[in-house]
Chains A and B, each alone.
Chain A
């Protein structure tokens, strides 16, 4: 069964550095998402992306964050200047156009900001 893949599985970075988290959604999916889960907390929506533009974003997704689909297969999340509080597990997800299709999640990237 096709799956969403995320790299790297673990990223350690220093405060103030830029990080790019990478995702390869399932190939025939058209909606893409990023979620995050701070340790011990609930999974939170960050942003959704469709037709090469952001369709919805949360208040967490401020100017430090950006998303891009640089080619036909990758979907990236960039954090320009990381803060300690950005430490979390970041999940990428994708879904088909069909309204009855669910989100499929990747295994996540654990980001640690020191």
Chain B
């Protein structure tokens, strides 16, 4: 069965600093991978997705993620965080057209000014 692990429950960074949120997955074949962001009281907004091809994918709000098959990872990065990036970030995986998304437990990002 597939699974997603986000080892960091809570991360605090200063505004303007770089950010990397970790995501590891377990699945026997190439998965479809996603990062979603959830602001307080809001729904889940898609940041970026990986299906195949280029292993470095660009998303909205200046985020990018790199798929590394050898490490079963899909880490999210941003070179310079903004205070408005404070939110909960979820890595997710699915394995086919209509299959369910399996979410990680999320990483709460706090941004200090």
> Quick check: B104 and A45 within 8 Å, CB to CB?
no
A33 at the B interface (CB under 8 A): yes
A106 at the B interface (CB under 8 A): yes
Which of the 9-residue segments B17-25, B44-52, B78-86 touches chain A? B44-52
> Quick check: A43 and B98 within 8 Å, CB to CB?
no
Interface size of A by CB at 8 A reads: 28
A73 at the B interface (CB under 8 A): no
Q: Main secondary structure on chain B at its contact with chain A?
A: loop
- Chain B residues closer than 8 Å to A33, beta-carbon distance: 100-101
B36 at the A interface (CB under 8 A): yes
> Quick check: B98 and A55 within 8 Å, CB to CB?
yes
> Quick check: B100 and A99 within 8 Å, CB to CB?
no
A window 7-57: CB within 8 A of B: 31, 33, 35, 41-45, 48, 50, 55-56
A window 56-98: CB within 8 A of B: 56, 58, 91, 93, 95, 97
> Quick check: B98 and A50 within 8 Å, CB to CB?
yes
> Quick check: A43 and B43 within 8 Å, CB to CB?
no
B70 at the A interface (CB under 8 A): no
Give bound CA distance, A69 to B88, whole Å: 31
> Quick check: A99 and B104 within 8 Å, CB to CB?
no
B window 82-113: CB within 8 A of A: 90, 92, 96-106
Binding site for A on B (CB under 8 A): 34, 36, 42-46, 49, 51, 90, 92, 96-106
Binding site for B on A (CB under 8 A): 4, 6, 31, 33, 35, 41-45, 48, 50, 55-56, 58, 91, 93, 95, 97, 99-100, 102-108
Ordered by A's residue number, 29 sampled pairs between the chains whose C-beta atoms are within 8 Å are A31-B97, A31-B98, A42-B90, A42-B104, A42-B105, A43-B44, A43-B92, A43-B101, A43-B106, A44-B103, A48-B99, A55-B98, A56-B98, A56-B99, A56-B100, A91-B44, A93-B44, A97-B97, A99-B51, A99-B96, A102-B34, A102-B46, A103-B46, A104-B46, A105-B36, A105-B43, A106-B43, A107-B42, A108-B42
